[in-house]
Structure 1
Amino acid sequence: MFNSTSILKFNVKVPNSIRYGMIEGALRKNNLRKAYKKSLEGVIGRNENTNHLGEWFWWRYFGICLKIAQEINVEQDICYFKNLANTYKDDNYDQRLVSECFIELSRWAFKLKDKKIMLDFVDKAIAKDPSWAEPYFLKGWFGLFLTEIDSIAFFNEAVSLDENYISRIKNDKECDKKSDVKLFVESFYLNKK
């Protein structure tokens, strides 16, 4: 079941704006198409406001679009969003927000089995916010399906940044299928004693 509240919690508190209020209202009524349309208008209207706050809203709307696009059939495909994401300027915008958008794009690419986009954007998420454990966890999780990625190395980095990720790894059903990951979890708990 789709949880529209999770979209609103995509990042931190958002300053009031008319467009955001319309998106929030549509999501509360579970009108995903209207929320998507209003978010996409915010993304497409990027040139309306190019100051810092304008860019922040752009990333906010972009993240909402990504989440909703995965839930409903949209005209735009993942390449459309990949190209939009690649237009970002490496500036001092909210690193976590940009990284969250890259992570969401990477997860969507995983669902579509698009390895190139998936790996490209998880790496961009790591580069954008190297102090956040989620991109490392996700790349490690991708390694469960791709032999060229060392899952344990990325899980280890995630846990070193945030020890709460050990329980996420321990409780993940895909991680539970891999004996080396189970051993990693066990050794973590043994070393804590």
Structure 2
Amino acid sequence: MGCLLDCEPGLSCELVKNYITPVNTCPSNYVGVILDEPSSTPYIGYVSDISRFVWNFLAEKTSISKENATSVCSQDCNNEGKACIRAETDGKGVCVVSTTRYVPAYSTRLKFESGSWIVLPPNNSDPMGLLDAVWTESNWNTIGLRVYTVQNASFDNVVLLGSIAITVLAYLAIVITRAFLTKALKRD
């Protein structure tokens, strides 16, 4: 769990390095945004380190051990339910018989057509289409953080007492000024 949650050791731990070559050593728990068209073999630059590691790890752990099931694979092992794992670490990878597949999730209201994404209108006849919300997010160049300090409770008490004192003094000033003006205007 330390490999997937903490920056120390992070994705530089041996377990992760056995399956993938991580881009970053500190794991990102941000889901991200798909940049390209859907495909069964996504471009490595668009799939996070954690997703690639989990896919490789699960494909190995759920693989069926058969004779000659594990062999060096080229880029593609899709025949006979095989998957190519550990291809990033040594460039060759290993074919295993596993049902684990990487399938990206897309909204049913998105359609990739002519090189761009199109948002389809809600379909009243499809109950799932009505419930499937399409959301988007900002394309942030930099993510920042603001930290605010919390003052001491005694400071809050001083501000409260000061405010009460100012209110009482303002009331007294109004009463005294009103009395003075009333007295001065009655003499004339």
Larger Rg: 2
TM-score per shorter chain, which class? under 0.3
TM-score when normalising by structure 2 = 0.21
Q: Greater helix share, 1 or 2?
A: 1
Per chain length, whose mean CA-contact separation is higher, i.e. which structure has more relative contact order (CA < 8 Å, sep 6+)? 2
What's the TM-score, normalizing by structure 1?
Answer: 0.20
